[in-house]
Amino acid sequence: MNIATLPRFPLAQLPTPLEALPRLSRKLGGPQLHIKRDDQTGLALGGNKTRKLEFLVGQALAQGADTLITAGAAQSNHCRQTAAAAAKAGLRCHLLLNGDTPGQIPNGNLLLDGLVGAVVHWIERRERATRLNQLSAALREQKLNPYVIGVGGSNGVGATGYVLAMQELVEQLRVGQQAVDHIVFGSSSGGTQAGMVLGAKIAGFTGRLHGVGIDKEDRDRGPYEDELAQIANECAEYIGSNVRLTKSDFEVVYGYVGGGYGVVGDLEREAIRTAASYEGIILDPVYAGRAFGAMLDLIRKGAFKSGETVLFWHTGGAPALFAYAADLV
């Protein structure tokens, strides 16, 4: 392994805290619950993309880039953290966001995108690839050197951040003489899950990793696991590990998409209120709220034994809450 020699730009406050959830564990009367606070990575209100961006921005700088380009939803946490990373690294940033120019005053992640100085382009989602290419070409024409980060920063380079995150957790568990049987987290573009599962193999973590499909329907079963294996193997190659994974190494939890991506339902509302009112932990409406809701549902259905320990890996996203206020009151 050669992670220590790979280009990396420091952005995250690490290690993120590992905390117990005693009040919630007691209330639910099931497994012992813990939480890994990647909502506290520190960059512009934090989140899981910060870990990926350390390696993505590292590579961008190593290649002499002066501009970052990425794309996502209007309330993308990935875009907000990329824009903040660009600011910190002294790079320009262009974001391609889905939708029409909003009429209202920007809120949530979108407000922060503007504050950190990103240039926002409103596009239709289906023209994303074309618009990315056009923008890159236009910037090169202006003698700039853009570095394109794919949606969610989920490639072999970005996933490296989660290989290290898993090593970080294993070390925290060793020092605390704790064991974790299950890890639950939201999974969408896949870099987080791919990196975690690869990291678990490398670090010898034997618990089960359950990635809750945030936008994955039953028809994605199979293709999504293939995609996860592909990102993980690209990552293994990047970091010089001999480990290779196949689709059967990945556990994706389906059935929690509700009304669709970014649509808040009772599952998310209950999860957000439960985490907030029992532990003072703020989840987000799109990812962590849904994944936490899935975990509560699985506990209710008896999916975990009462003597087991379940760790919820909080991937961040709370800035989006303010843009979803009307769905939460």
Ligand X SMILES: *Cc1c(COP(=O)(O)O)cnc(C)c1O
Residues identified as active-site? 76
The answer, yes or no, to whether the previous bond of 15 is cis (omega within 30 of 0) is yes
Given candidates 108, 156, 161, 186, which one binds ligand X under the rule CB under 6 A? Answer: 186
Amino acid at position 119, single letter: V
Q: Is 284 in the site for ligand X (CB under 6 A)?
A: yes
Instruction: Give the helix/strand (H/E) hosting 157.
Output: helix 156-175
Instruction: Give the helix/strand (H/E) hosting 10.
Output: none
Q: How far apart are CA 84 and CA 81, in angstroms?
A: 5
Site string for ligand X, 132-171 (x = CB under 6 A): --------------------x-x-----------------
Binders of ligand X among 50-109, rule CB under 6 A? 77-78
Q: Between 147 and 162, whose beta carbon lies closer to ligand X?
A: 162
Site string for ligand X, 10-49 (x = CB under 6 A): -------------------------------------xx-
Given candidates 41, 67, 160, 189, which one binds ligand X under the rule CB under 6 A? Answer: 189
Say if CB 185 and CB 312 are below 8 A apart.
Answer: yes
Amino acid at position 28, single letter: L
Q: Is 192 in the site for ligand X (CB under 6 A)?
A: yes
26, with CB counted inside 10 A (0-12, 13-18, 19+), is exposed
**Encoded tokens for 25:** 């564990």
Note the residue count of the chain.
Answer: 329
Given candidates 55, 147, 287, 304, which one binds ligand X under the rule CB under 6 A? Answer: 287
According to DSSP, the residues that pair with 72 across neighbouring strands are: 97
Tell me the backbone φ, ψ of residue 174, rounded to 5 degrees: -65, -50
Of 130-138, 140-148, 187-195, 250-258, the segment contacting ligand X by CB under 6 A is 187-195
Of 2-10, 88-96, 255-263, 280-288, the segment contacting ligand X by CB under 6 A is 280-288
Smallest distance from ligand X to CB 197, Å = 12
Residues that bind ligand X (CB under 6 A): 47-48, 77-78, 152, 154, 186-193, 284, 287-288, 315-317
